[in-house]
Amino acid sequence: MKKRVFSGIKPSGNLHIGHYLGAIKQWVQMQDNYDNIFCIVDLHAITVPQDPKVLKAWTREITGLYLAAGIDPKQSIVFVQSHICAHAELAWILNCFIPMGWMQRMTQFKEKSQKLKEQVSTGLFDYPALMAADILLYDTDVVPVGEDQKQHVELARDVAQRFNSIYGETFKLPEPVIPKVGARIMGLDDPTRKMDKSETAPGHAINLLDPPDVIRSKLMRATTDSLKEIRFDGNRPGVYNLLVIYELFSGKSRQEIEAHFDGKGYAALKKELGDVVVEGLRPLQERYRKLTADPSHIDSILADGADRARPMAEKTLALVKERVGLG
C-alpha cells in the first residue's frame, strides 16, 4: 500500500515559480511512490473577493499547469474542491472541534487581515478548518507544501488528534513535507517578502506562463544590493533568492555555482538566470499550450477526478457523522 499525498493550490491568480519550486515540483517527484490527490481549492479562493468568470478560468488554467508540470491524471486524482460537497460539510464539523485560540495563532491570517482590515471575511479566518477537511477526508499521510502552509497542516493534525481522542480512531494524522530548498521563494522586487500571487506589482513574480522576454526583463530588474560578490549568503536576500532560483532550475551545486560566478557581476548572474529559467519553463509552457488547445479535455479530467475522489470523501464523512451522532 502506497502512502497518500494530498495537496492543493487556490485558483486566485497567476501561478509563479514559487508555486512550482515550493510545491508542484515535489508533487511530480513524489508521484510514482505515492497515491496522489491534487486539488484546485476554489472554496479557499473565495475567502477574498473573486470575479465569477475569472475564478472559473483560473481553475482551468491551474489544472492545465498541474498537468503541464508533469502530474499524470491517470495516475493521480486531479479535481476541484467545490465539486465535492463533503469538503464544506466536514469543515463545518471540524470547526466545532477547533478552539478559537488555535485559529487566532495562525500567522497567515494575522498578516492577511492586517492588509484587508475590516473587509476581511469570516471565511478567511476559518480557512484552516476547510484545509483540515481537505486533508483529513482522504486519509492523507503527507502534505507537500511551501513553508507558509506548514502551520495550517499542523493545525489539521492537531484537530485530527483531538477528534480521535474524543471519538476514537477516525482520522489519520497527516505530516507536512517542506522542500529543503525553495520552500519560500521571495519577491523579485522585494526579497524580504514571499513571492505571492496576490501581489500586483509587475516586477514581483515570474509567472509560469510568462513569455521569455518578460522573464528576462523581470530578472534584470530584480532588487539586489550594492555589494559585488556572488555568494549564497542569507543575509543578502536579493542575491540569495536569485541564486536559489538558479540552483533549483540548473540542478547545479552551490559550490559549482559560486565558482562559476566568481569574478562576475550581477548583470551576468541575471542574464544567465534568465537563460536557465526560460529553458526550464519552456517544456512546461509547450505542454500547457497543447493540453489546453481543447478546453473540454481539462473539464473531462476534472469530472473524472471528482468521480474518483467523491466515494473516498463520502466514506470518511459518513464515519465522522456516525461518530458525532449526526443524522
Known catalytic residues are 112, 194, 197
H or E segment to which residue 193 belongs? none
Q: Can you tell me the distance from the alpha carbon of 194 to that of 26, in angstroms, rounded to the nearest whole number?
A: 19
Q: Can you tell me the distance from the alpha carbon of 148 to that of 238, in angstroms, rounded to the nearest whole number?
A: 19
Stretch that binds ligand TRP, among 8-16, 216-224, 247-255, 302-310 (CB under 6 A): 8-16
User: Exposed, middle or buried by CB within 10 Å (0-12, 13-18, 19+), for 115?
Assistant: exposed
Backbone angles phi, psi at 194, to 5 degrees: -60, 140
Is residue 176 involved in binding ligand AMP (CB under 6 A)?
Answer: no
Closer to ligand TRP at the Cβ: 146 or 238?
Answer: 146
Q: Which of 157, 194, 204, 270 binds ligand AMP (CB under 6 A)?
A: 194
Which residues, in sequence order, are bridge partners of residue 5? 36, 142
By a kind-dependent CB cut-off of 5 to 8 A, residue 197 interacts, out of ligand AMP, ligand TRP, none, with ligand AMP
Is residue 152 involved in binding ligand AMP (CB under 6 A)?
Answer: no
Q: Which of 17, 86, 98, 131 binds ligand TRP (CB under 6 A)?
A: 131
Contact 69, 23 (CB under 8 A): no
Shortest spacing between CB 13 and ligand AMP, in angstroms? 7
Q: Can you tell me the distance from the alpha carbon of 9 to that of 285, in angstroms, rounded to the nearest whole number?
A: 19
The DSSP call for residue 16 is B
Shortest spacing between CB 18 and ligand AMP, in angstroms? 3
Closest residue to ligand AMP, Cβ-based? 22
CA dihedral 4→298→51→313, nearest 10 degrees, is: -30
Task: Count CA within 13 A, CB hemisphere, residue 252.
Answer: 16
Q: Which of 160, 185, 239, 278 binds ligand AMP (CB under 6 A)?
A: 185
Number of residues located near ligand TRP, criterion CB under 6 A: 14
Stretch that binds ligand TRP, among 66-74, 129-137, 178-186, 312-320 (CB under 6 A): 129-137
Q: Can you tell me the distance from the alpha carbon of 43 to that of 110, in angstroms, rounded to the nearest whole number?
A: 20
Closer to ligand TRP at the Cβ: 25 or 270?
Answer: 25
Q: Can you tell me the distance from the alpha carbon of 186 to that of 66, in angstroms, rounded to the nearest whole number?
A: 22
Is residue 131 involved in binding ligand AMP (CB under 6 A)?
Answer: no
Is residue 112 involved in binding ligand AMP (CB under 6 A)?
Answer: no
By a kind-dependent CB cut-off of 5 to 8 A, residue 80 interacts, out of ligand TRP, ligand AMP, none, with none
* x/- track of binding to ligand AMP for residues 258-297 (CB under 6 A): ----------------------------------------
Closer to ligand AMP at the Cβ: 130 or 317?
Answer: 130
Task: Count CA within 13 A, CB hemisphere, residue 321.
Answer: 12
Closer to ligand AMP at the Cβ: 178 or 306?
Answer: 178
Pairing of strands 142-144, 77-80: unpaired
Is residue 37 involved in binding ligand TRP (CB under 6 A)?
Answer: no
Contacts 24+ apart (CB under 8 A), 272-275: 272/246, 273/219, 273/242, 273/245, 273/246, 273/249, 274/212, 274/215, 274/216, 274/219, 274/220
**Three-class SS state of 284:** helix
Q: Which of 128, 146, 274, 280 binds ligand AMP (CB under 6 A)?
A: 146
By a kind-dependent CB cut-off of 5 to 8 A, residue 135 interacts, out of ligand TRP, ligand AMP, none, with ligand TRP
By a kind-dependent CB cut-off of 5 to 8 A, residue 18 interacts, out of ligand TRP, ligand AMP, none, with ligand AMP
Is residue 149 involved in binding ligand TRP (CB under 6 A)?
Answer: yes
Q: Which residues of the shown chain bind ligand TRP in the complex (CB under 6 A)? A: 6-10, 41, 44, 131, 134-135, 143, 145, 149, 152
